[in-house]
Amino acid sequence: MSSPGAIAAVLCLLLGGEGVRRAFGDCAAKASLPGRLGTSFALGLIWFSLGLFLLSMGGSPPSAASGLALTITPWLLGFAIRRRAQFISAPNPAPLHLPRNSTSSSTRAIEWALGLGLTTTWVAVALVSVNEPLADWDVLAIWAYKAKILLAEPISQTHYFEDPTRAYSHLDYPLLWPLAMSWVWTLGEAGDLFEPKILAPALFAAYLGLFHGFLARRHDRLSALLFTSLLAGLPFLSTQTARLLADVPLSLFFTGAALSALAWLEGDDDSDLRLCGLMCVGLLFTKNEGIALYVILLGVCALALWRQATRKRFAPAAVWLLAVPLLATASWFALRFGIPQLHEDYASRLRLDVLVENASRIPAVVEGFIRCTLEMEDWLLFWPALVIYLLFTLRRWIRFQLGWLFAMAELPILAYAVILVIAPWSPHSLLEGPLSRLLLHSLPLQIFLVAEIARRSGHLPGSAAIRVETA
Amino acid sequence: MGRALFLLVVGILVLWSWASLDRYFALFGALRALPPIERAYLSLDPEQNFLTLAGRPDRRKSLSEREIAQDAPPLQIANRGQWAVRIAETLPPDARVYLNTSNSQLYFHSSFLWYPARVEVSAEPALIRDPATLRNAHRSVRPPQFSELLDQGYSHIVVMRGHGPHLLSLSRAQENR
């Protein structure tokens, strides 16, 4: 159902993102091919949306010319910044810990089966996505609606952000996802309800590819495929991707930011730090929850650096984790602070007295989370299995120094629970949709945590339990 | 033992997920059998489209209870969005439409689908952030007042009649259904 123009728009995102990836030091070159492609698409989403936003602030709505410029510019920048030979034939440094892939026939057969399962899952989601028009309530009323407006009217000229009759579309929500849709409409058939759906299969592939890329740096091929298959198979991820909910790109950026931050903290390759910084831009520009995720990531990184007591890493961290994301999104936040506050301001309710006053809501919030996680149609039995596994391996993963990964994975859920306690609405009303989507944000990190515990505990084929020496 | 149990659980989850892929292929088949304009109907129908129920445990439960109760009336989808999709193809882009109803689904869908045409429920700007504020903002008009709307710059009006919404051209008093 997607026109050649819409497909071309997605390819531009990938190409532009690949240019950004190479321009910033070929970050994630250590990843698998799916990992590099997934990273490139994610960076392309960030680069294009930010570029189109700045152009729109200057009076230019999305156009083919601006898209072409955004596709080519990072390649020219990279060419100028780096030496020609290094840029064209980007070196592919060997990973620090090269996983050994098994060569047994049974292992190869399982790998083929997992690969086939992954491909079939992607095909199933893609077929439905591109053959179904935009339909979800939030997508129509919020993201696609903004996309239509941004396509027709530059931000500098539109009255949309001051129109109280449009407050239901949340005037102050970030614009990455609407701009991505606008871009597809620019090259495709503008306003067509099917065109933006081409983003769904691309996003799904990038999501799984990026996750696989980080897994493949630490795990052998079989394990990387196994855990990627587990992620791909959770129904709620595929349904939300097929319907183009913005929680999926947010989860993509948080996964990329958190896992690259952890890789940098554990190693010494600054390309991981640069990738983290770029992903943080996506966090801040996709959904307001991204602010909470960004704060959590900053806090964990700051604590980790303090524990490591390596002063020389503070300066590059400050540049890439603070300066780059905040400067890149400064113009968006400047616009946002000028938008009338027409909905509840959560930030003003983030106080201890409000929390204590609303303490009676805690059981309802906890019950809501439990009920959501037990919905087999959305999660199979993933969450109960996760909790049981974490409890049974509690002593091990604490000793394995997986605390930072645990914090990145679980603090968002705690943060959202606090917000639901202080929110003015009934927790019950938030069960229908929002609660499950919040769980999606840290879902890949949960699986990554399980994979790391399993590897170090010897629970994976070919892995042996790591003995942790105690003083 | 630990490894075997762990791999068994993960394997079951993966195989279970593969088994549920048939829903996607069935939905794909149903979508392909319909012309594009009709697919919106299928997309919004929770009885035929599992994507609509994702993350909505209460709605899923109420739907399954209706299926179980033999004498329950057929689930009618208040699908104002379907009608708005059809109208979007004929409405001029510079239209200014007065919505003579506080139906939130109709307001939100038509605002998106008919853009850049404007959809309003009152001649005075008012805060509309949810169905409750929409109801507060809405001002009903009677047929004798239609000429006043025309003077205020409105080109069309949506009125609710027995079988659903109708779009009327204020200047030509034509009816689109």
Residue range A332-349, pLDDT digits in tens: 999 999 998 777 666 677
Pairing status of strand B164-169 against strand B156-161: antiparallel
State percent of chain A over pLDDT 90.
67
Amino acid A465: pLDDT: 64
Residue range A244-253, pLDDT digits in tens: 999 999 999 9
Residues facing B159 on adjacent strands: B166
Query: Which residues 189-228 of A have a C-beta within 8 angstroms of B?
Result: 193-194, 226-227
Q: Which two tokens stand for residue A418?
A: 């606090």
Average confidence (pLDDT) over A224-230: 96
Report the Cα–Cα distance between both ends of chain A, in Å, rounded: 63
Residues facing B161 on adjacent strands: B164
Instruction: State the residue for tokens 């083929």.
Output: A112
Phi, psi of B14 (to 5 degrees): -65, -45
Query: Cβ–Cβ of A124/B59 closer than 8 Å?
Result: no
Q: What integer best gives the mean pLDDT of chain A?
A: 89
Strands, E assignment, A361-413: none
C-alpha–C-alpha distance, residues B123 and B153, integer Å: 10
Nearest CA in chain B to A229: B14
Q: B82 to chain A: which residues are within 8 Å by CB? A: none
Phi, psi of A252 (to 5 degrees): -60, -50
Quick check: A85 pLDDT over 70? Answer: no
**A330-347 burial code (b ≥16 CB/10 A, e <16):** eebeebbeeeeebeeeee
Q: Would you call A137 an interface residue with chain B, using a CB distance cutoff of 8 Å?
A: yes
Q: Counting Cβ atoms within 10 Å, is residue A100 exposed (0-12), middle (13-18) or buried (19+)?
A: exposed
Confidence of residue B67 (pLDDT cuts 50, 70, 90): low
Amino acid A208: pLDDT: 97
Cα dihedral sign, A159-A164-A165-A170: positive
Confidence of residue B72 (pLDDT cuts 50, 70, 90): very low
C-alpha–C-alpha distance, residues A7 and A16, integer Å: 14
Distance from CA of B105 to the nearest CA of A (A): 9
Instruction: State the residue for tokens 């770029």.
Output: A278
Residues in chain B: 177
Quick check: B8 pLDDT over 60? Answer: yes
Query: Cβ–Cβ of B52/A135 closer than 8 Å?
Result: yes
Q: What is the DSSP letter of A321?
A: I
Pairing status of strand B164-169 against strand B175-176: antiparallel
Residues facing B164 on adjacent strands: B161
Yes or no: say if A462 and A102 are a contact pair by the CB < 8 Å rule: yes
Contacts of A468 (CB under 8 A, 6+ apart): A399, A400
Average confidence (pLDDT) over B132-139: 92
Residue range A294-327, pLDDT digits in tens: 999 999 999 999 988 778 889 999 999 999 999 9
Nearest CA in chain B to A169: B129
Query: Cβ–Cβ of A133/B2 closer than 8 Å?
Result: no
Query: CA torsion, points B31, B35, B38, B39, in degrees to nearest 10?
Result: 30
∠ Cα B16 B22 B25 (to 5°): 145
Confidence of residue B75 (pLDDT cuts 50, 70, 90): very low
Residue range A87-128, pLDDT digits in tens: 555 455 544 455 566 678 888 999 999 999 999 999 999 999
Quick check: B78 pLDDT over 50? Answer: no
Residue A65 identity: A
Average confidence (pLDDT) over A407-418: 92
Yes or no: say if A397 and A390 are a contact pair by the CB < 8 Å rule: yes
Amino acid A466: pLDDT: 58
Yes or no: say if B52 and B43 are a contact pair by the CB < 8 Å rule: yes
Report the Cα–Cα distance between both ends of chain B, in Å, rounded: 67
C-alpha–C-alpha distance, residues A411 and A417, integer Å: 10
∠ Cα A192 A197 A200 (to 5°): 165
C-alpha–C-alpha distance, residues A149 and A10, integer Å: 20
Average confidence (pLDDT) over A135-158: 93
Residues in chain A: 471
Query: Cβ–Cβ of B111/A152 closer than 8 Å?
Result: no
Phi, psi of B158 (to 5 degrees): -105, 125
Amino acid B77: pLDDT: 41
Confidence of residue A84 (pLDDT cuts 50, 70, 90): low
Q: Which two tokens stand for residue B131?
A: 């169905």
Q: Would you call A124 an interface residue with chain B, using a CB distance cutoff of 8 Å?
A: yes
C-alpha–C-alpha distance, residues A426 and A236, integer Å: 23
C-alpha–C-alpha distance, residues A354 and A423, integer Å: 9
Residue range A159-199, pLDDT digits in tens: 999 999 999 999 999 999 999 999 999 999 988 999 999 99
The pTM of the full predicted model, rounded to 2 decimals, is 0.93
Instruction: State the residue for tokens 């047994």.
Output: A104
Would residue B124 be called left, alpha or beta, if left means φ above 0 and alpha means ψ between -120 and 50 degrees?
A: beta
C-alpha–C-alpha distance, residues A311 and A119, integer Å: 45
What's the farthest any 2 CA atoms get from each other in chain A?
A: 66
Average confidence (pLDDT) over A217-241: 95
∠ Cα A388 A393 A394 (to 5°): 95
Q: What is the DSSP letter of A143?
A: I
Contacts of B34 (CB under 8 A, 6+ apart): B41, B42
Nearest CA in chain B to A453: B6
